[in-house]
Structure 1
Amino acid sequence: MASTLGPAPDPEAVLRGHRAAVNVVTFHSPSGTLLSGDADGELKIWDLRRHRPLSSSRVHTPAAGVIGISAADASNKILSQGRDGTVKCWQLTESMLSRQPLLTIKTDSYHFCKLSLSESATMSSESEAIVGNTKIASGAAVIAIAGKEPSIIELWDIGSGKCVQKLPQERLGPSTVECILSHGICLLFCSYEDGTMMVWDIRHAAAPLIQARLHDEPVLSIAIDRIGAGGVSGSADGNLMFFFLDYQENTFVVKKKVEGQAGIGDIAIRGDDKLVATAGWDHRIRIYDYKRRKPLAILKYHTETVTGVTFREDMKWMATSSRDSTIALWSLYPPSSLQQNQQLVNSGGSRYGAGSMVNGNMNDHEQ
């Protein structure tokens, strides 16, 4: 049903400069910049005040492209992943990458499963010796990535450049991973091409803590809330799952299933666990209330598949990337404004079910 309250708002700014599809985007909090990687293997660092690139580096070959980026904020190290079987670690200085990588991890895996970084991975003494005599120091940065062998997730210590753990499963290969630190324990969330999802405590690799098949097709994206109590998953089947993790019963509890969307390539939960954003194959960004699992907005700008979505740490900005070679910056409700408008969200029903939020204003534009 068409809306009478006006068209969807435009983003606050659009960053242009990539000549190929932008595959991934992430904020780097210490420098106040934005990082983006494209299908030609180029990684750009953006000045968010002038909306211009500060630097551009060819970190992977054009044939491989950049499919993943992570930032280790504590050490100002940037990780780039290409579809050439490598992950490279770069030093970030004065908004530029080092000329040569500090470390190159050869995974020999050539799929689209993006790496996931867990920084300051503090583990108990019983888990320090993870593989043989290899120890991970307190405060280490650890990445999870799909390995060379099918269905195996590998954990690498960035400091030592060594693989410290392998988590095998006899099933189709992993499609996405998410590594988080919860109550001093590093938890790994894995999903597989058959729609199965698993949660691992990396101190105990014999078997996952929790596993269930939540989707009928490959899981393309997972986002976990800041305490590891639950999250959201999206799949090629177009279904979005809001779930809770029952660690006592070792099970996923699906709280809500949202059907009928296009494929969901990326998901982000804002740092206050109040907003969820999804990146759709249908060129749309959908915003949800995470705790109440209600739709809040459908944002339209990109003309091709939306490949990435991320929130800045201060929660003032959201960035989206697309195959149309652009990056869009959106200004959504700051936490105070979201709280003030929560009553409208709760009572709005269909009126606000597909609205758009920009600068504290909600415009119902698509249903």
Structure 2
Amino acid sequence: MSRPAPSPVYTLRGASGAFNALHFSCHEGDTPLLFSGSGKGVIHLWNLNNRRTERIIEGHSGSSVIWVNTLHSADTLISQGRDMRVCLWNLSQGRSELMDSLSTESVGFCQCSLLETGQKTCLLAFAGQQTEELKIVELSSKALLCSLIPDSKLGMVMCVKLWQVSRGPLLLAGYEDGSLLLWDITQRSILSQTKVHLEPIMCLTFDPESRRGISASSENKLFSWILDGQNNLLLRDCVTLTNPGVSQLSIRGDGKLLASAGWDHRVRVFGWKKLRPLAVLQYHRDMVLSVAFSDHKDPRQRLLAAGSKDQRISLWSIYNEVPDTG
């Protein structure tokens, strides 16, 4: 390691369940917020100025909240629960009103992926009712754009990632058999497919700028891969971890750092360019389930948050970590 591991700058507590999902909203001029989804079906809005809960939303009938995000600004929150519902919340002017909801018909743990394609146009991808099924809807109208099912039996959809290119939206999906598929949403077709892991892919993330992604499973390995000029998925690097199992992966917005949420209670930080280990963050007493980087413009406010099964969120200041420079 390049330097001793830091300690959390502070921690957040107060939920009665594990923290499955985290999302920062740090718009300039607004109060920096951290949204969390718990295993007891509760969404917390944390004010990062005073480090206290600003609002609590109970909207998934006690079912685990597995994904949270914001639309356009922090005024609209979207949450996904294991009650098979995705909910939209109006948070403007201190409200916590349920505006709309849709059914995913899926009882799995696959988190949704959101793509804002215009000022008021958003696509939402999620696992469908059938085992290998992926659905993409236009969020405001809830209109189904397509249902994607591969020809071969790959098992459950485990994780998905949407992003936009000039020809239209693309989607990466990780499956139960360890396969990774790249879908062209417009053509409803598979552009590339490769077997990456021996076990189900638990999580993945993708950096559109470098056309490079990374995935993890219950194994002790991270696999990174790239898209070449013909949109072929090509394996690139493998990182062996000390202990197996990763719940989530997150790339910082500037493309310099990668964080992993480990089943061994640890958060690992890497330089994204060459996957060079930078730090092992040790604080939690149980599995780390979620990690998220803040999107604040001020480097000193670029925090890393980690949510754990131990019902705590740790926040770390690692803005001055030196990334891979070659």
Provide the TM-score with structure 2 as the length reference: 0.91
Does the CA contact (< 8 Å) of 1:195 and 1:217 recur in 2?
A: yes
Residues in 2 aligned to 1:237 and 1:15: alpha-carbon distance in whole angstroms: 30
Residues in 1 aligned to 2:54 and 2:136: alpha-carbon distance in whole angstroms: 32
Provide the TM-score with structure 1 as the length reference: 0.81
Bigger Rg over Cα = 1
* Aligned residue pairs, count: 316
Instruction: Decide which of 296, 317, 322 is 1:331's aligned counterpart.
Output: 317
Residues in 2 aligned to 1:249 and 1:182: alpha-carbon distance in whole angstroms: 12
Instruction: Decide which of 156, 161, 168 is 1:178's aligned counterpart.
Output: 161
Q: What is the percent sequence identity of the aligned residues?
A: 30
Could you tell me which runs of 5 or more consecutive residues in structure 1 were left unpaired when the two chains were aligned.
123-137, 347-367
1:151 aligns with 2:150: no
Q: Secondary structure at the match of 2:322?
A: helix
1:75–1:330: structure 2 CA closer, same or farther, 3 Å change rule?
closer
Alignment-derived partner of residue 128 in structure 1: none
Residues in 1 aligned to 2:181 and 2:111: alpha-carbon distance in whole angstroms: 16
Alignment-derived partner of residue 211 in structure 2: 229
Does the CA contact (< 8 Å) of 1:14 and 1:327 recur in 2?
A: yes
**What displacement does 1:249 show?**
6.1
**What displacement does 1:73 show?**
2.7
1:288 aligns with 2:270: yes
Does the CA contact (< 8 Å) of 2:250 and 2:292 recur in 1?
A: yes
Q: Secondary structure at the match of 1:166?
A: strand
Q: Secondary structure at the match of 1:209?
A: strand
Instruction: Decide which of 298, 301, 306 is 1:320's aligned counterpart.
Output: 306
Instruction: Decide which of 15, 19, 27 is 2:16's aligned counterpart.
Output: 19
1:137-286 matched pairs, under 5 angstroms: 139-169=120-150, 170-171=152-153, 172-183=155-166, 185-205=168-188, 207-227=189-209, 229-248=211-230, 250-286=232-268
- My pick for the range that moved more, 291-300 or 24-33, is 24-33
Structure 1 vs Structure 2 CA RMSD? 2.1
1:58 aligns with 2:55: no
1:77 aligns with 2:47: no
Q: Secondary structure at the match of 2:247?
A: strand
**1:18-39 residue CA offsets vs partner (Å, 9 max, x unmatched):** 1111111111233421100101
**1:114-159 residue CA offsets vs partner (Å, 9 max, x unmatched):** 111111x26xxxxxxxxxxxxxxx7511111001111011011111
Letter aligned with residue 148 of structure 1: Q
Does the CA contact (< 8 Å) of 1:45 and 1:96 recur in 2?
A: no
- My pick for the range that moved more, 314-323 or 186-195, is 314-323
Does the CA contact (< 8 Å) of 2:290 and 2:308 recur in 1?
A: yes
Q: Secondary structure at the match of 1:50?
A: coil
Letter aligned with residue 333 of structure 1: Y
Letter aligned with residue 227 of structure 2: L
Does the CA contact (< 8 Å) of 2:76 and 2:92 recur in 1?
A: no
